[in-house]
Homo-oligomer: A and B are copies of this chain.
C-alpha cells in the first residue's frame, strides 16, 4: 500500500490558491507531511523535522549554518538528509496540529486516503473506519491529490476526526478484523505514545480473536533498537504471531519502511501466504486501477530479512 509513494514524485499539479510565495525564500517552521491515520500529540509536533530551504524539501534542516548542530541534535536520522526539489509550494497553512504543505513533489501518508483506496479492492470488507486527528490533511488531499483521496468516496468508509488513542479506547472489544496504523516516527516525537505497551494493548483488545494488526515500524537500516522494542512489546500482547516485513520506499530515509504484522490468539493467520492472492481479488476488476508496486512476489519478498536484522532484533524468530 506504500507503493505509490515514490511514484508520486513525478506528480504534476497546477498552482492553486493559498500559496505562500515567501516560503521558498526562507526556513519554514517544523512540519510533518507524513500525518498518519493515527495522528499525533500537537505539543510534540515541534520535534518533527522537515524544512524547505530555497526550493529543497528536506526531512531535516539542510541549510549550512545548522548542519553541524543537526548532526548531534536530530534524534531520528543523525548525519543524514534526503532532499527533494520543490518548484512551487501549492499550499501552506497551519492546522491545529501541524503545518501542512503541498508541493509539486510530495510524499503523503495514511491521512490522504491512499490506504483507504487500496483497502477498497477487497469486496470482503464491509466497513472501514478511519480515525484522523487533523481534518486539514484530508481537505488538502481532496483538493490536490484526488487520485489518493478517492479512497474517501467508498461508501464503506466512515471518517472519524479525532484522537486515535481516545477513539480506540472507546471501541467495543473484538470489533475489528484488521487494524492498520500509519503513524509518524516515535523518537522524541508525537507518536511516542503509539509505540508503547498501553496503545498496543488497546489495539489488541479492539481486534477479534485471530484479528490482525499492521503497524508501520521504522527502517531496518537505521533503527533496529526501536524495532526490537516494538516487537518485544507486541510479542507480549499478540499471542497469535508477530512478524517483521519491509519494503522499498525511495523517498523515506534509508529507502525502506518496515511493518510489524501481528495476530491475536485465535484462528491462525498465515501472513506470508495470503488466502486471497492480491492478483485474484474479486474487487480489483471493478477498481479501474492497476497495482503498480504490490503483487504476490513482492508480498513474499517483504518477509526476507538480512542476517544483521535477525542478530540486532534478538526477539525475531
Interface residues of A (CB under 8 A from B): 3, 6-7, 9, 53-56, 62-64, 67-68, 70-71, 78-85, 87, 105, 219, 221-222, 246, 248-250, 252, 254-256, 290-295, 297-298, 300-308, 311
Contact = CB atoms under 8 A, between A and B. Distances in A.
Contact of A304 (B221, B222, B255, B297): B297
A99 to B, nearest CB: 21
Q: What number of copies of this chain does the assembly contain?
A: 2
Nearest to A4: B308
Q: Which 5 A-B pairs have the closest CB atoms?
A: A255-B255, A79-B85, A301-B304, A301-B301, A250-B254
Nearest to A297: B304
Given A56-B67, A221-B250, A297-B305, 12 more contacts: A7-B308, A54-B67, A55-B68, A56-B62, A71-B87, A81-B83, A250-B254, A255-B256, A292-B306, A293-B306, A294-B306, A301-B304
Given A83-B80, A250-B255, A292-B306, A64 B67 contact: no
Contacts of A305: 297-298
Contacts of A246: 248
Given A63-B64, A249-B255, A295 B307 contact: yes
Contacts of A291: 307
A55 B67 contact: yes
